[in-house]
Amino acid sequence: MQPMQHQMMGYDRAITMFSPDGRLLQVEYAKKTVRLGNTAIGMVCSDGVILVTDKRLVDKLVVPEAIEKIWQVDDHVMVTAAGILSDARILVERAQEKATGYRATYDSPIDLLAIVKDICNLKQFCTQSGGLRPFGVSLLIAGIDEAGLKLFETDPTGLFYQYKAVVIGEGETEVSEILHKEYKESLTVDEGLKLCIEALKKTIDPKEFSLDRIDAAVVRKKTAKMEKLSKEKIAKLLK
């Protein structure tokens, strides 16, 4: 009843208008959009950092290889998302431009926190400016810099947190329970990938699950470069 009263009063019609109980309803709606998005998991392992996500194929005639849910920002940085993926694309392209500009200016790779803060500044700006709407997407940003392996989550408000392991999207509750029980910092990349894929598998209807739905990538500590995993590699991990 309470949310309906807010709507009737019009507090959800403008991003800059607080409801009487101190909430920005448009931002909360954006968070709900994220919870309806495809499940995406990030994990920091002993020898690398990984991202695993559900491609969520909407049509059997779609070419699975043409669907990209994990994007490369720089050699050492990768991103995945849950929510409105067209919003994600804009933020990823912004991050790519910032990383490229940093390399051109300083002749060195950008640190992850600089990318995270730049994205979150734009997200926050869109929560306090009339005529705009919040970005309806959360991002997982993973990679390596001088400080080591890192994994961040950004939400539609512009907040960000650093994690050892995290999940966003529709499978958040179920996968989060698995991560809290089974994640260990000593996990290798292969062990972590197996855990993430098995956890993701539990959020998908068995009749609809196939390896074509899985998108996975890793940045290994040894190489400091993003590596996309083939369907064959993923199949081997699940044996």
pLDDT, tens digit, for every residue of 2-58? 555 555 567 787 888 888 888 888 999 999 999 999 999 999 999 999 999 999 887
Residue 187 lies in a domain: yes
Q: What secondary structure letter does DSSP report for 229?
A: P
32: buried, middle or exposed (CB in 10 Å: 19+, 13-18, 0-12)? exposed
Examine residue 222 and state whether it is found in any structural domain, yes or no. Answer: no
In angstroms, the CA 199 to CA 216 distance is 13
Tokens representing 15 are 């991003």
Task: Tell me, yes or no, whether 237 lies in a domain.
Answer: no
Query: For residue 238, is pLDDT > 90?
Result: no
Query: Is residue 53, in this structure, part of any structural domain at all?
Result: yes
Residue 62 pLDDT level (bands cut at 50, 70, 90): confident
Residue 175: domain span: 2-206
Q: What pLDDT is attached to residue 237?
A: 82
Residue 230 lies in a domain: no
Q: What is the tally of structural domains in the chain? A: 1
Q: Domain for residue 224, yes or no?
A: no
163 inside domain: yes
217 assigned to some structural domain:
no
Q: Residue 105 is part of a domain; what is its CATH number? A: 3.60.20.10
